[in-house]
Structures are given as C-alpha cells and as structure tokens.
Amino acid sequence: MKYIATIEGKEFLVDVIDEKQVVVNGKPYHIDFESVSGQPVYSLIAEGKSHEAYIAQADEGWQVLLRGRSY
C-alpha cells in the first residue's frame, strides 16, 4: 500500500511492502510495529531504534504523537 505523508509541509511517499518493511522516498526501512495491549499506543522499532507512538484517527486522516511531537 502506498501513502503520502505530509510533515511540516513536506511530502513523503510511503510504500508499505509488508509487516516488516516500508520504503520512504525510495529508501527501505526494516520495522517492527505492534499495538500495546489493544490500546492506541504502539511499539515501533525502526532501524534498531525503539520508539513509542500514540496513534488516533482524526477527521482529516491520522494523528501520530511520536517523540513528543504531533504529526
């Protein structure tokens, strides 16, 4: 599946290859992305770095809180 993500006015083409790999603007990334106990909290490991993300559906798409920043 392909998506366009806009962050601070800049567009990124995101292609979800499978559950463990995405390509962002042509660069592949190995990921591990899991819901924590069915909550809107997700564990994200990307390129060996661990992150915690809060994700909620909004009127205009999805809202993501990652590393203290809302996208």
**Location of structure tokens 């042509």:** 26
Overall number of domains in the chain: 1
Residue 42 CB burial class (10 angstroms; 0-12, 13-18, ≥19): middle
Q: Which two tokens stand for residue 2?
A: 């392909």
Predicted local distance difference test score (pLDDT) of residue 40 = 87
CATH number, domain of 22, equals 3.30.700.30
Cα separation, 64 vs 68, whole angstroms:
10
Claim: this prediction has a pTM higher than 0.75: no
Residue type, 47: E
45-67: per-residue pLDDT in tens?
A: 988 899 999 998 888 888 889 88
12-43: per-residue pLDDT in tens?
A: 999 999 989 999 999 999 999 888 887 889 99
Q: Could you tell me the residue range of the domain that residue 40 belongs to?
A: 2-70
